[in-house]
Amino acid sequence: MLGRGIVEGMLETARNFLGSYVSRERLTTVQYPEERLAHIENARSFPFLVYDGADWQAGMRCVSCQICEKECPPKCIYIEKSVDKKPDAVGRPQNYPKVFNIDVSVCMSCQICVEVCPFDAIKMDVEYELGAHDRFGGLLLDKQRLSKSNEYYHRIHPTEAAAVDAALAEERAKMQAKQQAAAAAAAAKAAAPVAATPSAAIPSAPATEGKA
């Protein structure tokens, strides 16, 4: 009979109308500024640079190898290498980025930079409230704005960060062993007292220690 389908459809909307008052399943809206969705660990927005320790400049893991700059599909990363060197996360003396800019208005959040980075220096942030009044200045993130601490990294991607820290600690231990061996060899060879151990310059990662 004419109208049956229409009546069925109207019952369906009535069911949803009433259902939206009783069931959270149906009313999925999240009232954004007041309530927010639970943080999803794998989520990603834009890249940031990880640093260890308290000083973002000293602890910067990036060694400005420029692989991410090369691999970035939309070419939104700009890096200038430093002339001098500083010890990196595992204690090797390395260059550091003098300039490291990411234009997040160009970035497409693909996280290929993260995948190709051999130093675990660049990771994906979850910050999404990045509105700016100035399209060029506001969205062109420089080194300082990009730098976020390792603790922050642990907070947003705990599983991943723990794995990274474990790998880094292993590297560092290897590096230290190597350096000690080298130092011992040097000491044995020259029999001269070695003053400063390079390991003192290594910023310690508190999170790793806490875990250990």
* Contacts to another protein by CB under 8 A: 1-6, 8-17, 19-21, 26-29, 31, 40-44, 67, 71-73, 108-112, 115-116, 124, 159
Nearer to another protein, 112 or 169 (CB): 112
Residues 46, 127: contact at Cβ < 8 Å? yes
Find tokens 């069925």 and name the residue: 8
* Least distance (Å) between residue 120 CB and another protein: 15
Nearer to another protein, 29 or 83 (CB): 29
* Least distance (Å) between residue 96 CB and another protein: 22
Q: Which residues pair with 79 in a beta bridge?
A: 100
Contacts of residue 144, defined as CB under 8 A and 6 or more positions apart, other chains included, come to: 56
* Least distance (Å) between residue 207 CB and another protein: 21
Residues 122, 89: contact at Cβ < 8 Å? no
Nearer to another protein, 41 or 142 (CB): 41
Nearer to another protein, 40 or 196 (CB): 40
* Least distance (Å) between residue 117 CB and another protein: 10
- Could you tell me where the beta strands, DSSP code E, fall in the chain? 47-51, 77-87, 93-103, 122-124, 140-141, 147-149
* Least distance (Å) between residue 161 CB and another protein: 14
Contacts of residue 197, defined as CB under 8 A and 6 or more positions apart, other chains included, come to: 179, 183
In the chain, the amino acid numbered 118 is P
Nearer to another protein, 14 or 201 (CB): 14
